[in-house]
Amino acid sequence: MEDSLHAENFGLRLSVAVVSRQQVAAAAAAAAAAAVQQQQFAAAAATAAAAAAAPYQLAAARAAATAATAAAAQHLCSNSMQQQQQQQQQQQQQQQQQQQQQQQQQQQDH
């Protein structure tokens, strides 16, 4: 069973293939990362909360991805600012994704 998350608005694209239940949380994390990169911390927090509450529900992951992408797109429309902070946030986000992937791998191993 394969599903996909796709949201596009104002030139911001988020597309994540979901091929297993374990990857749904990673898809929601990607949506949160897109929001963080655009300094939409509230959307990122909401996405993370949705992923934590229902990590294996595709509908929740889709809704989280849509909300995060819309928030990021709104930020792009209003203004673009502070690339240096965004780069720092991207580095933090990459570290978080690596940690999540390691945790998922450990869960799959057990």
The predicted structure's pLDDT at residue 30: 72
Ranges of each domain in the chain: 3-102
How high is the pLDDT of residue 10? 45
| pLDDT (tens digit per residue) in 44-94 | 666 666 666 555 566 666 666 666 666 666 665 554 555 556 656 666 666
Place of tokens 């933090």: 92
Contact predicate 80/61, CB 8 Å: no
pLDDT at residue 7 greater than cutoff 50: no
Q: How far is CA 34 from CA 1, 24, 37, 41, 105, in A?
A: 25, 16, 5, 10, 23
Is the pLDDT assigned to residue 39 strictly greater than 50? yes
Q: How many CB atoms lie within 10 A of CB 17?
A: 11
Distance of alpha carbon 67 from alpha carbon 78, whole angstroms: 17
Checking if the pLDDT of 5 tops 50, the result is: no
| pLDDT value of position 63 | 67
